[in-house]
Amino acid sequence: MATALCPGSFDPVTNGHLDIIERTARHFDDVIVAVIRNPQKTGSLFTLEERQELLHECVKHLSNVRIEFFKGLLVEFAKEHGASSIVKGLRAVSDFDYELQMAQMNQRLSGIDTFFISTSPQYSFLSSSLVKEVARFGGDVSTMVPPVVAERLQGRFVQEA
Ligand code: ADP
């Protein structure tokens, strides 16, 4: 059985992430969405539990996808879960340098291969951080994130205002 990991911070999950997760789920038997819990990504808007809850809601139609947290080296987590592949989305050339370096490092560390899926053009400008910035100032993000996430963002920033 081929298991793939889709790692990220998902703070919060966007339509760009979901597109990659859905497409990965078509090619692998089992997909683990691996939510990073490393401390270097500070300043998160949503707690790990909130991110997990939102992800659950958004992937519930995909029977071969599950959500897990990971800490430390992704390749160790991959080995523990029997995953032989990592799948990442590539938005633009600017993603490429870093992603290539990380893929090569992970290959060297563990033999685990990274596969890249090119973003769907309508999502190539989307990132969680930009979505949060737009939502914070009252912009409409309803075409960029699933409805449950849009609602949660709106609620969060109304509270803050
Ligand atoms: P972000 O960069 O939005 O904070 P993450 O760190 O959660 O997102 O990214 C997890 C993975 O999802 C990365 O492989 C990233 O390239 C991919 N990804 C994020 N947004 C998109 C998008 N709009 N289209 C394709 N892939 C994406």
DSSP string for 72-130: S-HHHHHHHTT--EEEEEE-SHHHHHHHHHHHHHHHHHH--EEEEEEPPGGGTT--HHH
Q: What is the pLDDT of residues 15-42, one digit of tens each?
A: 999 999 999 999 999 999 999 997 655 6
What Å distances lie between residue 144 and 27, 106, 149, CA to CA?
A: 24, 30, 10
Stretch 149-159: mean pLDDT, rounded?
Answer: 90
Q: What is the pLDDT of residue 92?
A: 87
pTM: 0.94
The protein residue whose alpha carbon is closest to atom 14 in ligand 1 is 88
CB 46 within 8 A of CB 67: no
Q: What is the pLDDT of residue 70?
A: 94
* Binding site membership of 89 for ligand 1 (Cβ less than 6 Å): yes
Among the listed ranges 56-65, 81-90, 92-101, 127-136, which one has the minimum average pLDDT value?
Answer: 92-101
Stretch 60-75: mean pLDDT, rounded?
Answer: 96
* Binding site membership of 107 for ligand 1 (Cβ less than 6 Å): no
The protein residue whose alpha carbon is closest to atom 11 in ligand 1 is 8
Among residues 9, 51, 128, 152, which one is catalytic? 128
Region of 129 please: left (phi>0), alpha (psi -120 to 50) or beta: alpha
116: tokens are 């890249």
103 pLDDT above the threshold of 80: yes
CA 90 – CA 27 distance, rounded (Å): 17
61 is annotated as an active-site residue: no
CA 5 – CA 8 distance, rounded (Å): 10
* Binding site membership of 66 for ligand 1 (Cβ less than 6 Å): no
The CATH classification number of 3-125 equals 3.40.50.620
Q: What band does 95 get if pLDDT is binned at 50, 70 and 90? A: confident
91 is annotated as an active-site residue: yes
Residue 56, burial from CB neighbour count under 10 angstroms (0-12, 13-18, 19+) = middle
Tell me if residue 43 falls in helix, strand or coil. Answer: coil
Q: What is the pLDDT of residues 122-148, one digit of tens each?
A: 999 999 999 999 999 999 999 999 999
Q: What band does 107 get if pLDDT is binned at 50, 70 and 90? A: very high
Q: Can you tell me which atom of ligand 1 is nearest the CA of 13? A: 7
Q: What is the pLDDT of residue 159?
A: 65
* Binding site membership of 88 for ligand 1 (Cβ less than 6 Å): yes
